[in-house]
Structure 1
Amino acid sequence: MRPTTLCFPVRSDGKLLLGRKKRGFGVSKWNGFGGKIEAGEDFLQCAVRELQEETGLIAREEDLELVGFLDFHFSASPELNHIGFVYFLHTWQGTIQETEEMEPTWFDPAALPYDEMWKGDRTWIPMLLKKEKVKGIITFAEDNDTVAHMELHTVDA
């Protein structure tokens, strides 16, 4: 089970920054920014590093707001299973730039490109946007895309 992070920068007008994955796992899907924890890192350090690598934005660990913990299971490819802490970020420095891995774009929360995102995102992301904190398990079917089962709970902290 790989530990990962996922970070969604949120502007003061409520728009979310998503990135279209340009290569590797999840290619062509819109998602938040993040990835696998490297040796010696904790979750916050990973989120800060991945955000900078994928967008050019510079975040401080203390500005990351923990909004979710998700356990992703891939029935056909258990090596893809991972847990992830999900963060919102409202304060950062730097200028957004496209990288070789991600194409960042701002989206209005009412117009997120769910048809081009991971299945299941259309369930848990709206919960986060309603200021609910979420914990759960998402199990993907044999095609590694369709959600076979999802169990989500709201939590206080």
Structure 2
Amino acid sequence: MKPTTLVFPIDEQHRILLGRKKRGFGANKYNGFGGKINADESFRQCAVRELYEESGIRVDASNLECVALFDFQFPYDESLTHVGYVYFVRVTDVQPIESDEMEPHWFTFADVPYEHMWEGDRTWLPMLLEGKLLKGPIQFGPDNSHVEDMRLTEVDTVMESELLARIDVYINE
């Protein structure tokens, strides 16, 4: 189980910034910005670092809104399994830059290219954009793309401390 973060910047025009992944697992799919947590950082520090590395956008960790906690399960390839927090961050007057990993694009909420995203994102991202907070497992099938099972629960708050004990075990392995 890898601890990860995912960040979706939202601007003052109610647009969401997505990145088209240019290489590796998930290439050519649009997604938020994020990745694996390092041993020396918190989830929020990871989210800030990954957003900067992949889009050139700098944000303060205190401005991240924790909107979800997902357990992405890949039973047919356990090396892909990861658990992570999803954040929104409100931004103004930012100009994202393309990185070697991501090509950023702004989309209105109505024009999010769900057909070019992970299958599960098509379910949970609209719910998050409606203001819901979520947690739960998302299980992928043998092709590591199709969602076999998704049991999301709407919650009042996403407690960022829920994973800390499990993360310490992973990082210290």
Could you say which TM-score interval applies, normalised by the shorter chain? Answer: over 0.9
CA deviation string 1:109-140 (max 9, x = no partner): 11111111000111100110110101011000
Shift of 1:75: 2.1
What code does the residue aligned with 1:30 have? Y
The aligned residue for residue 100 of structure 1 is 100
Residues 145 and 88 (structure 1), Cα distance of their counterparts in 2 relative to 1, 3 Å cut: same
Alpha-carbon distance between aligned partners in 2 of 1:98 and 1:74, rounded to the nearest angstrom:
29
2:12–2:92 Cα contact (<8 Å) kept: no
Runs of 4+ in 1 over 6 A off after TM superposition: none
Size of the aligned set, in residue pairs, is 157
Q: Is residue 2:5 matched to residue 1:10?
A: no
Residues 5 and 85, structure 1, Cα contact 8 Å, conserved in 2: yes
For 1:61 and 1:21, how far apart are their aligned partners in 2? 23
Find the aligned partners of 2:101 and 2:121 in 1 and give their Cα distance. Answer: 20
Q: Structure 1 vs Structure 2: percent identity of aligned residues? A: 52
The SS at the match of 1:10 is: strand
For 1:149, the aligned partner's letter is: D
The answer on whether the counterparts of 1:6 and 1:84 sit within 8 Å (CA) in structure 2 is yes
| Correspondence 1:125-144 to 2 at 5 A | 125-144=125-144
User: How far, CA to CA, are the matches of 1:118 and 1:154 in structure 2?
Assistant: 20
2-structure distance, mates of 1:93, 1:44:
22
Q: Which amino acid aligns with 2:12?
A: S
Which residue number corresponds to residue 43 of structure 2?
A: 43
- 1:93 and 1:3, CA in 2 relative to 1: closer, same or farther beyond 3 A? farther
2:151 — aligned with what? Answer: 151
The aligned counterpart of 2:61 is 61
Residues 58 and 93 in structure 1, CA contact (< 8 A), matched pair in contact too: no
Structure 2: 5+ residue runs without aligned partners?
158-173
CA separation in 2, counterparts of 1:149 and 1:37? 26
CA positional deviation for 1:92: 6.2
2:80 is aligned with 1:90? no
Q: What 5-or-longer segments of structure 1 have no aligned partner?
A: none
Instruction: Give 1:112's aligned amino acid.
Output: V
Please tell me whether the aligned partners of residues 38 and 46 of structure 1 are also in contact (alpha carbons under 8 angstroms): yes
Residues 108/94 of structure 1: CA separation in 2 closer, same or farther (3 Å cut): closer
SS in 1 for 2:41: coil
Show the counterpart of 2:162.
none
